Amino acid sequence: MAAQAHFQKFRSDLTKKLHEPNRVNNVLGQVEEKTGVDRFFMVAGLFGIIALYLIFGHFAELVCNLVGFLYPAYVSVRAIESSTKSDDTQWLTYWVVFGLFNVIEFCSDEIEAYFPIYWLVKCAFMLWLYLPTTMGAHKVYTRFIRPFVLRHQDTIDRRVVNTVNKTADAVRDNLSDLAQKRSD
């Protein structure tokens, strides 16, 4: 019974969102008028098709990564251009989590071999991270990333400085060797 109540609330909230005035909802309204199909079912059908594609589609990885990148990139630019700081923090937090997840996900080919719905789950995770109703990136950041970084900040800082110094030395040595070879 609880699942049915949750579904009804979800459907009611989504239907309300789908009737808010904007370009997409205007188009949905026109299609709804012409076909007689409720816009909730149109959107649910679209999500179903996308979910099936993320499981069986040839370019599922690309679609998933576009979902995780395009909208967040667009609203990040809008956040940079806005005068408020809260949206900047929200999207900077998203990009920290997104970047860390992509580093961890480096072996996605192996994951996908054992977990065939990987791209669907990743896509849902990306949506959970950035949707304003869930604010998942903030939750992941405050629960895992922030405590880890604060606990190990001195070690991280020392290693970053050490790496930068070694890289600068290597570049300087290579440029010096290159200059020496050219003068010979």
Measured on CA atoms in the order 162, 89, 65, 120, is the torsion positive or negative?
positive
User: pLDDT (tens digit, 9 = 90+) per residue, 13-63?
Assistant: 888 888 889 888 888 899 999 999 999 999 999 999 999 999 999 899 899
- Amino acid identity of residue 95, one-letter, is W
Angstrom distance (rounded) from CA 68 to CA 137? 12
- CA distances (Å), 45 to each of 48, 112, 163, in order? 5, 25, 51
Q: What is each CA distance from 127 to 13, 28, 134, 136, in whole angstroms?
A: 17, 22, 9, 9
CB atoms closer than 10 angstroms to residue 118: 20
* In the chain, domain spans: 18-56, 58-153
d(CA 44, CA 119): 19
**Cα 9 from Cα 3, distance rounded (Å):** 10
Q: Output the six-digit token pair for 21.
A: 């005035």
More confident: 10 or 147: 147
Query: How many other C-beta atoms can be found within 10 angstroms of the C-beta atom of residue 60?
Result: 21
pLDDT above 90 for 6: no
- Say whether pLDDT at 82 is over 70: yes
Confidence of residue 182 (pLDDT cuts 50, 70, 90): confident
Whole-number pLDDT of residue 1: 64
**Tokens 């940079």 sit on residue:** 80
Q: Report the predicted TM-score, pTM, of the whole model to 2 decimal places.
A: 0.76
Q: What's the rounded mean pLDDT across residues 82-89? A: 90
Residue pLDDT, tens place only, 137-161: 999 999 999 999 999 999 999 999 9
| Pairwise CA distance, residues 24 & 133, whole Å | 19
Q: What is the pLDDT of residues 96-125, one digit of tens each?
A: 999 999 888 887 677 877 888 999 999 999
- Full DSSP string of 124-150: HHHHHHH-TTT-HHHHHIIIIIHHHHH
Instruction: Decide if 32 contacts 38 (C-beta within 8 A).
Output: yes
The token pair that represents 51 in the structure block: 């979910």
Mean pLDDT to the nearest integer, 57-86: 93
Q: Tell me which DSSP letter residue 167 carries.
A: H
